Amino acid sequence: MFRYAALQSEIGKQLITERAIDTSKVDSIIFIEPGVAYFTKSDAALQIGKGFGGFWNVLAIFSWIPKSFRDTIYDLIARNRYKWFGRKDACMIPTPELQAKFLDS
């Protein structure tokens, strides 16, 4: 099960500090596997896909591509995601079930 925290939240700041992550160099997703490691950008996306299992395991093939190239593609998608997929005017209100997945709730 995945749990979520905003990087700006108290728990997010604590997790970043504990791992000495330089947020001036990482302005994107950070996936933390407790007691193992943390992953950023395309590595984080691949680890999350692996965690979903099933069809998502196919994404593992992209781990053969050099990280610098994967991160460039990741950044391109991140910069254009609202143009390509749209943007909501307001954030959704999470259900109690979804709220339980946030670390700072």
For the full predicted model, state whether its pTM sits above 0.85. no
User: Does the structure show a pLDDT above 80 at 105?
Assistant: no
> For the chain, what are the domain ranges?
10-99
The string of pLDDT tens digits covering residues 39-69 is: 999 999 999 999 998 988 888 899 999 999 9
DSSP secondary structure letters along 39-99:
EEHHHHHHHHHHHH-GGGGGGGGGGGS-HHHHHHHHHHHHHHHHHHH---SSPPPPPHHHH
